[in-house]
Structure 1
Amino acid sequence: MAELNMLSLKKLLREGTVSGTFFVYGSEAFLKRRACELIGEQCMPDEFPEFNYEKLDGQRCGVDAVITALGQFPQFTDKRYVIVDDFSFSGVSDDDINYICEYIEKPTEGCTTVFRYMAEGSHNDGGFRKVCECCKKFGYTMKLETPDRNGLCDILCEEAEITGARLKPSDALYLVDRCGNNLSALVGELSKLAAFAGRKNITREMIDTLCSASLESKVFNISKAILRGRADEAFRLTENLLLQRTAPNEIISIMSGEFVDLYRAKAAKAAGESSAQVAKAFEANYKGKGFRVDNAFRDCGNYSQALLAKYIRLINRTAVDLNSSKTDKNIRLEQLISELCLAGRELR
């Protein structure tokens, strides 16, 4: 019948009673859980749930249990709800897959079934694809990936409203920048903020006080200090990370990615390319992280390609040193910060 996203699912559920089969997969665990909650709010039986709600562990149950669940009618009520988690079609016979597809094409009256795949990419075999295509034709499919930066902010504002608190879009962006783009982690941070704020606005001061900055955010602040010529701040932030026992290799890896983002954006701008074109050209790097390209396009204007290239060479050389010598890694990282700050003075 349809491919759905979260918005179209909510619209579908608002329009009336839904039944049939849903196939929910993709990279974003929080959205997959939320989709099942929304479907369950309408399709979960109000009466006799012990007979009419079933959740199968697809990694443990056999195909017979799945086929039996699909074929059962509601008992003593008009609704039945079944969730099948992470069922692997590997090794399932063609006949059994065809049986499952027959139930998807002509679902048992009053029965709603959700095939949900929480483990991304672990079930992408021929049977998986066939059942997914069958659901696309006769039921509903939902491929739920990590939203872009604006999508994350929309979800956070909506989640805040559900709790009774209020979160401005600009402050939602600030929360994403501080805590990263892991939606489950963001919602966890939002829960703390909402509990503290009550029915008031969630402010940036609350975010700074209550939310732990992600490692990516902390390294970004070091890079920002270097780019702005603030050597003392860059050294202070680096020392703080080392005192927290953050591995120098991790810091350098993240920092390298940030400067590579800026270099790609600078080169793309010079060639008349857009951020969307860069994200598509380097899809493996930016899947679900398109905001990194947008941020790089926003920030790269003040720096020359020569300077950014110099930064990348220095970082790569340090990465090689850390992996191939017995040099004290903390000292070598601090040397890198010094070299980057000096390069900025020379080439800015």
Structure 2
Amino acid sequence: MIFDLWKQIKRKEFSPIYVLYGTESFLVNETKQLFIQNVLGEDESDFNLSTYDLDEIPIEVALEDAETIPFLGDKRLIFLNNPGFLTAEKTKDKVEHQLGRLEQYMKEPSPYSIVVMVAPYEKLDERKKLTKELKRTAVVAEAKKLGEHELKNWIVQRAKANGTIIDNEAVERMLALAGTNLFLLTSEVDKLSLYCNETKQIDAETVEKLVSRSLEQNIFTLVDKVVHRKVDEALRIYYDLLRQNEEPLKILAIIAGQFRLIYQVKELARRGYGQQQMGGYLKVHPFRVKLAAGQAMQFSDEELTRIMKMLADADYQAKTGGMNKELLIEMFLFHLHSGS
């Protein structure tokens, strides 16, 4: 687990070779920063930190650097980004790598360098001999999307690091409003901690008042208002989005995406899928699946089919110029509320 690796880095328990893979860019960036802060002394980055893009530079060139004695320091830190030879995914492959050179280095790594291979891929290719050897000899950590429980714990720990306490209701509200993007969540927790510097307590009311809503989250709330037959509040959110110069076609597309997700979640639930399975199958975060499942309970299959047809018709009319785009969405919301 990535957090176990963080503990090792902070304890300065280093291995000569690491493989950091996964698609959660926030965790990748945080890990890289932890390496820099804990491996290199103050002002050493200029001399003993190197970064190579393996889409552009052969690995043998980078390994020559790893075998160079550090200047004015104890260790060199080498980041090898985009090692496409470790995945089955299609990559740029602009250069040919002498992978035998890497295999040789793995057997006898430099005692004064730490090499971190940063693979921004969902999976490593377990069939490859090189991958198997790396998993045997190197420290391999996955920077994967956090589950709901991990996200909640992340928010709590981030607040704690800022010297504040956030209650459970506030954590739930933050995820509902800000979504699951760790970059955004970190920014929002830091902002709330600063605001609550005196009380040291973050509650749901403060979250509601201060947390920024993304366009997607605003539209999720809009749909939620319609689900609960509060069309006046849904329209108020819609008019606010227009005042913020959001494009009506984009708003319509995201509304359609949310109802498509509701429809898919309802169908997959009928087939016996769990939330984690749905998230993997639909390639969305399980927390979004959880919220969509709650909304799906408010609609029958017939209603959802009718709504999807209404959205398709609205999209066609908007793109063919048959009607004012702003009015189209307004009419859709009224019809959705009335059930006509």
TM over 0.5: yes
CA contact (8 A) 1:148 1:290 kept: yes
Runs of 5+ unmatched residues, structure 1: none
CA contact (8 A) 1:73 1:109 kept: no
Partner Cα distance (2:36, 2:290) in 1: 37
Partner Cα distance (2:10, 2:327) in 1: 60
Aligned to 1:290: 286
Aligned to 1:101: 103
Aligned to 1:338: 334
Could you tell me which of 2, 7, 21 is aligned with 1:6?
Answer: 2
CA contact (8 A) 2:60 2:101 kept: no
Deviations 1:203-247 (A, max 9, x none): 233323332111111111211121111222222221111121111
Output aligned runs, 1:1-348, within 5 Å. Answer: 5-13=1-9, 17-42=13-38, 44-46=39-41, 49=44, 53-58=48-53, 63-74=59-70, 78-86=74-82, 90-94=93-97, 96-117=98-119, 132-198=131-197, 200-280=200-280, 283=281, 285-287=282-284, 289-343=285-339
Partner Cα distance (1:92, 1:264) in 2: 42
Aligned to 2:90: none
CA contact (8 A) 2:169 2:204 kept: no
Give the Å deviation of 1:339. 1.4
Which letter does structure 1 place at the counterpart of 2:232?
A: D
RMSD between superposed Cα atoms in Å: 3.0
Q: Secondary structure at the match of 1:193?
A: helix
Q: Measured at CA, do residues 130 and 184 of structure 1 come closer, stay the same or move farther in structure 2, by a change above 3 Å? A: farther
CA contact (8 A) 2:57 2:95 kept: no
CA contact (8 A) 1:71 1:103 kept: no
Runs of 5+ unmatched residues, structure 2: 86-92
Q: Measured at CA, do residues 330 and 70 of structure 1 come closer, stay the same or move farther in structure 2, by a change above 3 Å? A: same
CA contact (8 A) 1:278 1:293 kept: yes
CA contact (8 A) 1:150 1:173 kept: no
Which letter does structure 1 place at the counterpart of 2:290?
A: D
CA contact (8 A) 2:15 2:139 kept: no
Q: Measured at CA, do residues 169 and 97 of structure 1 come closer, stay the same or move farther in structure 2, by a change above 3 Å? A: farther
Deviations 1:78-102 (A, max 9, x none): 43322234467734445x2221232
Give the Å deviation of 1:329. 0.8
CA contact (8 A) 2:51 2:80 kept: yes
Q: Measured at CA, do residues 143 and 321 of structure 1 come closer, stay the same or move farther in structure 2, by a change above 3 Å? A: farther
Which letter does structure 2 place at the counterpart of 1:49?
A: E
Q: Measured at CA, do residues 219 and 66 of structure 1 come closer, stay the same or move farther in structure 2, by a change above 3 Å? A: same
Give the Å deviation of 1:330. 0.7
Percent identity between matched residues is 20
Q: Measured at CA, do residues 75 and 231 of structure 1 come closer, stay the same or move farther in structure 2, by a change above 3 Å? A: closer
Partner Cα distance (1:324, 1:157) in 2: 48
Give the Å deviation of 1:178. 0.8
The number of residue pairs the alignment matches comes to 329
Partner Cα distance (1:240, 1:35) in 2: 39
Normalising by structure 1, what TM-score? 0.82
Normalising by structure 2, what TM-score? 0.83
Which letter does structure 2 place at the counterpart of 1:54?
A: L
Q: Measured at CA, do residues 339 and 32 of structure 1 come closer, stay the same or move farther in structure 2, by a change above 3 Å? A: same
CA contact (8 A) 2:22 2:143 kept: yes
Give the Å deviation of 1:75. 5.3
CA contact (8 A) 1:84 1:114 kept: yes
